[in-house]
């Protein structure tokens, strides 16, 4: 996550000339564009810009107002995040019925070990409302009787609580491009498999049916491609011969919470960045457990490796 630039996100219906209108406005105000990325999915246009506003010829309030006015004129939703806007980051947690990941986030927050505030919990069922109320955090149920989410209401709540980061704590609904595009590289999900293996629903069941010996979990950024976003952290565990679905969940759920919490900490501290669909860990990467713990690495054999045969042959030739 970049912390020293102003971030501008533009989302709306796809049309010609949108990029030129926005970039021209920035150029006229002396603003340098350091990064620009755009995409269209299901008719939804998204443009992200990282810009340097240090030498702009207007105030932050004026730039924000001008961009919002342009957005209204073009039928676009424009978000502007200046560096100072991110001094105290706000997390919105999305949940369904499973509590273990939300519990881990709340415990870290209560122990001042998270690096941000949990501002709201949003569910497509109300099962976890008592847990949110225990920590005195607002809870909103945006699901109908079948759990189908109301995305318009979701976007309203994310804006109301000024969410810097959205954490999917076993949220069992797919977010549309209309949501994902507004929070590019700011939505973290945990999936119960070692992605890219077993994407989609029932990942533990897929692993049991395929007879894997090692399974695991993955925390990753959310993109418009299901379970294919940039991977941040992973955890693995052995699968016994007699493991059934419930045994897989018992082994996997603590690792889900651990991997998700680690990924959230990395994002909030700015120690992970995304480039061309892959994550890069900054200089503080040694602080985190990205994959297997060190003791497992030490237990793995370190030989033989390619090249030893060549050395032997060379010695025999002498």
Report, as residue numbers or ranges, the catalytic residues: 227
The angle, 0 to 180 degrees and rounded to 10, between the axes of the packed helices 100-110 and 245-269 is: 40
Residues 6+ apart with CB under 8 A from 256: 100, 101, 170, 190, 192, 217, 235
Number of other residues whose CB lies within 10 A of the CB of residue 185: 22
Instruction: Give dist(CA 71, CA 27) in Å, integer.
Output: 16
Instruction: Give dist(CA 3, CA 23) in Å, integer.
Output: 21
User: Residue 304: phi, psi to the nearest 5?
Assistant: -80, 160
DSSP track, 214-227: EEEEEEEE--SSTT
User: Residue 154: phi, psi to the nearest 5?
Assistant: -60, -45
Comparing CA positions, the residue from 60, 59, 78, 56 lying closest to residue 68 is: 78
Bridge partners of 93? 121, 167
255 touches 192 (CB < 8 A): no
Tokens 């501002």 belong to 119
Tokens 């979701």 belong to 154
Q: How is residue 199 written in tokens?
A: 């994407």
Residues 6+ apart with CB under 8 A from 285: 271
Instruction: Give dist(CA 47, CA 9) in Å, integer.
Output: 6
Estimate to the nearest angstrom the gap between the alpha carbon of 9 and the chain centroid.
16
31 touches 1 (CB < 8 A): no
């Amino acid at each position: 996550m970049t912390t020293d630039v102003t971030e501008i996100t533009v989302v709306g219906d796809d049309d010609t000339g949108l990029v030129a209108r926005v970039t021209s406005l920035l150029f006229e105000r002396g603003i340098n564009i350091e990064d620009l990325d755009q995409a269209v999915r299901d008719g939804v246009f998204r443009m992200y810009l990282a810009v340097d506003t240090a030498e702009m010829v207007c105030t932050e309030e004026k730039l924000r107002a001008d961009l919002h006015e342009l957005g209204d004129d073009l039928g676009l939703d424009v978000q502007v995040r200046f560096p100072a806007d991110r001094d105290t980051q706000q997390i919105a947690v999305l949940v369904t019925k499973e509590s273990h990941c939300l519990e881990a986030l709340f415990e870290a927050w209560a122990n001042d070990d998270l690096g941000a505030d949990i501002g709201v919990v949003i569910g497509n069922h109300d099962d976890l409302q008592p847990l949110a109320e225990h920590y005195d955090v607002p809870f909103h149920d945006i699901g109908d009787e079948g759990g189908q989410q109301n995305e318009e209401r979701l976007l309203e709540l994310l804006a109301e609580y000024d969410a810097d980061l959205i954490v999917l704590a076993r949220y069992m609904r797919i977010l549309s491009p209309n949501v994902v595009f507004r929070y590019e590289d700011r939505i973290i999900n945990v999936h119960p498999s070692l992605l890219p293996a077993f994407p989609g629903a029932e990942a533990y069941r897929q692993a049991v049916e395929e007879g894997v010996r090692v399974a695991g979990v993955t925390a990753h950024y959310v993109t418009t491609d299901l379970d294919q976003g940039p991977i941040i952290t992973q955890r693995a565990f052995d699968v016994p011969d007699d493991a059934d679905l419930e045994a897989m969940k018992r082994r996997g759920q603590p690792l889900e919470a651990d991997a998700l919490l680690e990924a959230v900490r990395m994002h909030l501290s700015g120690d992970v960045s995304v480039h061309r669909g892959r994550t890069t860990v900054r200089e503080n990467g040694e602080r985190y457990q990205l994959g297997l713990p060190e003791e497992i690495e030490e237990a793995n054999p370190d030989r033989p490796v390619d090249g030893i045969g060549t050395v032997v042959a060379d010695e025999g030739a002498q």
